[in-house]
Structure 1
């Protein structure tokens, strides 16, 4: 299955047709595939997807927001239609560079947006927290199904008691370079167990399985190693804009304790939305709830930034 054909072609989990596509160039020259949807003058939203996913992951959210929001989605490096980076191109700083490049190149100058990160996308936002570009361009942030540190230790993918053995096994499983193979009933059962709630419908599982299985195994493993060593706790307090947090109560990859830690550390948290019985794929499992949080922040904070007007020189300066 090619990465371009991974998404479903029809139905609620199929991506809509973008208004246009764009190539964004990051600081190290990496090329990022981006897509733009909706009216140019509408409140802006930027969506950053998670590990092993792609722009197609946001399809149900796009269908709810693109009619009256300017939505920018992009493929993280190595995912979807963004080429894999070269040696040294896998790091949280590279992710921050990529997000800043998208904000600078896919939005008009001075335009602000609600920046939404799911899983690895949320970690991308936290990695960029100290960047002046994020503070200038992000009117608000949504951190969805994500965490800042101790990801492997706190994950509950492997059904063992918390401790060194579970951490060691989970590190090996999540960082494996083994190919996932074609999407089949067994693969979908495993994916559903690890990433979704028990109520996930078959079409939902199929859509996510297609996207995840299309991620190159080397890219999957390289980012898994970055996630295993992740420590962004110090960046949480640097997100000084309004921030909403979303988590599924049955999330095995980033359990609710991560969300609670984020809420405790954020200077301007607007609230925690806990989605009962849902897993890690909350934007697909309950796109209405996730879109509702985004829409609320866009309504309150997502208008275009006021143009910067330089003060005119005073009379003394004019005569010198």
Structure 2
């Protein structure tokens, strides 16, 4: 296990940077008809990276990685169902099986047959990759995997958000919090303090806390609640064992939502583990809290496992529609 100290950089004059502009936007239709919003960044023919965000987030969560990688990589990001510009799913549409379906649809629509990519997932995005580990599209297109701040099971039992002794009471209350219907309301100084406590580490820069808060508060309440119930019952331990690709794991030492105990368990269970990196002072939102460390790991995986010859050009699939 590697333990890394990180420092975040402040943008010029503390202003939020404009979102990266994709070279292509499309809607990919998943197995149940869900319409998944997808952005493609970077030069055609460059080594590919596909990134899946977590619970209550959206494509903007990966902005730091996109800005850096899209200079010389083809970067695909998409809104998980119900998040960002992807509509809420219908009845039965909230499940890890559906998340795996969506990832398969995105890979098929954005990569050429046989084209390889590094697949990265944060939190629920990592769970997406674990749920899809045995899927044909992942085996066809996956070259290596990066799992950031995620867990495969026992999320409510291991969560440290509530400062009480571990046990049945804490587990029940944590499950209730995950599925709480209370609105988050506007982003305020108080809400940012609460969000930082629950999801970010002591080393998180204020502008990154603000950016995270704006992303999380933009998630529709019904979507947050529905996925919260799914997470409370999560069991993807079998999926970890089916994830045969070379896989690196990153965790924040201060993560209260998915403490490093999850990362350690995943790292041990992976068939082809590339090791665990624990980021000192960082919490659950590692790609935003420590973008340089996460981006560097993605670049490292691309350099080791993706060849330029295998990069290919972006494919057009039957199940996609261009967005004007």
Question: What TM-score, normalized by structure 2, do the two folds share?
Answer: 0.90
Q: In structure 1, how many angstroms separate the alpha carbons of the residues matched to 2:229 and 2:74?
A: 34
- 1:192 maps to which residue? 196
Change (3 A) 1:113 1:306: closer
The reply on whether 1:121 has 2:125 as its aligned counterpart is: yes
Question: Which residue, out of 66, 72, 76, partners 2:70?
Answer: 66
- 1:242 maps to which residue? 246
What does the per-residue CA deviation read over 1:111-157, in whole Å, with 9 as the maximum and x for residues that have no partner?
A: 11000000000000000111121111101011110010000110111
Q: In structure 1, how many angstroms separate the alpha carbons of the residues matched to 2:103 and 2:62?
A: 16
Q: How does 1:20-59 map to 2 (within 5 A)?
A: 20-59=24-63
Q: In structure 2, how many angstroms separate the alpha carbons of the residues matched to 1:214 and 1:197?
A: 21
Change (3 A) 1:204 1:16: same
Which protein has greater RCO, CA pairs closer than 8 Å, 6+ apart?
2
- Deviation for aligned residue 1:270: 1.0
- Deviation for aligned residue 1:14: 4.1
The reply on whether 1:147 has 2:144 as its aligned counterpart is: no
- 1:318 maps to which residue? none
Q: Secondary structure at the match of 1:108?
A: coil
- 5+ residue gaps, structure 2, are 1-13, 313-324
Q: In structure 1, how many angstroms separate the alpha carbons of the residues matched to 2:145 and 2:19?
A: 23
The reply on whether 1:158 has 2:155 as its aligned counterpart is: no
Bigger Rg over Cα: 1
Q: In structure 2, how many angstroms separate the alpha carbons of the residues matched to 1:230 and 1:49?
A: 17
- Deviation for aligned residue 1:60: 1.1
Taking only aligned residues, the RMSD between alpha carbons, in angstroms, comes to: 1.4
- 5+ residue gaps, structure 1, are 1-9, 308-320
Q: How does 1:86-125 map to 2 (within 5 A)?
A: 86-125=90-129
Q: In structure 2, how many angstroms separate the alpha carbons of the residues matched to 1:203 and 1:42?
A: 31
Number of aligned pairs?
298
Change (3 A) 1:21 1:170: same
